[in-house]
């Protein structure tokens, strides 16, 4: 039957396994009671009106069937449902059916998809492998140090508002372009490349959270020109992300954790804020340089290709990058 045809029928009443087992045992005990009553009548020789004697023995043996067990079970289920709703370890739980709470103790496997049908589906980045190295959420400081080392070696972080800063930005663009060549890459460059790729290849929309302590600084720092290839400057502030897939949000939050923040995204551009360059003494507050990218084309994720890609042009270097990500079975044949 199709799902539409199944939905046209009446919903079946949910009956727990325990209730089914009690019903079966009650039927078996009733059969035992009837057999004992017949045996007692047979021993008496089926004298006179023997069926009246049969009913008498049925009444005498009726205590074999635990009728009060049903009442006790219903009372226990009601108490169990109330205890679930008031459990401090699972706040917000609502019991909508008090007939089957004991079924929770019989669950061995919970099968679900990734869409959050049965769960809240809050995903976190736990581990990333870069070459022969593996980094976890506990080693994010080491990843941030690699990113900071790479940016400092490339001269990123100079004052883009002065003439000297403009010359430094020009040198930065040349060094960045050279570093993306085919030469052997060191670990800081590998780490930055993977952070840059994860921060660019997605469909996440960022939104700056409104905080009173950074609004004034943001008015002074945001809006620095980046279309001419110079490094922009933006104030560091908490970000919120929206996306159709929690996987992508988890990846973007990881790049934010290591200091490469998705600061802005439009239909034609992406801006990354390099919070890794903010001194630790400032506690994550202050201004940070930004890298702007023009979005040339987006290849959306499909169930057939099992991957997505994006083509961007870095305004600082003028280089065009094609970044893609997808299922390991598909990407293994590409990389």
Bridge partners of 128, per DSSP, are: 135
Contact between 302 and 326 under an 8 Å Cβ cutoff? The reply is no
CB burial of residue 53 (10 Å; 0-12, 13-18, 19+): middle
Contact between 139 and 254 under an 8 Å Cβ cutoff? The reply is no
Catalytic residue among 1, 113, 228, 328: 113
Query: CA 172 to CA 164: how far, in whole Å?
Result: 12
Dihedral of CA 290/291/294/299: which sign? negative
DSSP 8-state symbol, 286: S
Residue 183: helix, strand or coil by DSSP?
coil
Which residues lie below 8 Å from residue 244, measured CB to CB, with a gap of 6+? Answer: 203
Bridge partners of 290, per DSSP, are: 232, 273
Q: Is 113 a catalytic residue?
A: yes
DSSP string, 119-174: S-------EEEETTEEEEGGGHHHHHHHHHHHHHHTTTTS-TTSHHHHHHHHHHHH
CA 216 → CA 27, 159, 162, 213, distances in Å? 78, 20, 22, 7
**Active-site annotation, residues:** 113
């Amino acid at each position: 039957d199709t799902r539409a045809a199944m939905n046209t029928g009446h919903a079946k009443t949910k009956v727990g396994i325990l209730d089914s087992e009690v019903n079966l045992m009650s039927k078996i005990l009733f059969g035992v009671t009837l057999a004992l009553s017949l045996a007692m009548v047979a021993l008496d020789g089926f004298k006179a009106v023997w069926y009246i004697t049969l009913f008498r023995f049925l009444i005498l043996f009726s205590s074999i069937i635990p009728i009060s067990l049903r009442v006790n079970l219903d009372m226990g289920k009601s108490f169990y449902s109330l205890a679930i709703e008031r459990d401090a370890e699972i706040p917000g739980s609502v019991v909508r059916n008090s007939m089957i709470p004991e079924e929770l103790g019989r669950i061995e496997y919970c099968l679900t998809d990734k869409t959050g049908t049965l769960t809240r589906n809050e995903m976190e980045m736990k581990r990333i492998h870069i070459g022969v190295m593996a980094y976890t959420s506990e080693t994010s400081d080491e990843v941030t140090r690699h990113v900071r080392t790479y940016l400092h070696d490339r001269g990123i972080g100079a004052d883009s508002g002065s003439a000297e800063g403009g010359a430094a930005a020009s040198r930065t663009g040349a060094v960045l372009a050279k570093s993306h060549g085919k030469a052997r890459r060191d670990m800081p460059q590998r780490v930055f490349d993977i952070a840059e790729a994860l921060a660019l290849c997605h469909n996440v929309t960022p939104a700056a959270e409104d905080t009173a302590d950074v609004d004034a600084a943001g008015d002074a720092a945001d809006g620095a020109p980046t279309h001419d290839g110079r490094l922009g400057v933006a104030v560091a502030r908490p970000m919120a992300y929206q996306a159709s897939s929690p996987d992508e949000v988890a990846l973007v939050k990881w790049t934010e954790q290591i200091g490469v923040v998705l600061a802005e995204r439009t239909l034609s551009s992406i801006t990354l804020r390099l919070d890794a360059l903010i001194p630790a003494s400032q506690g994550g507050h202050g201004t940070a340089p930004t890298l702007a990218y023009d979005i040339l084309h987006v290849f959306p994720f499909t169930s057939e290709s099992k991957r997505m890609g994006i083509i961007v042009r870095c305004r600082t270097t003028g280089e065009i990058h094609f970044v893609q990500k997808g299922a390991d079975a598909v990407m293994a044949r590409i990389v």
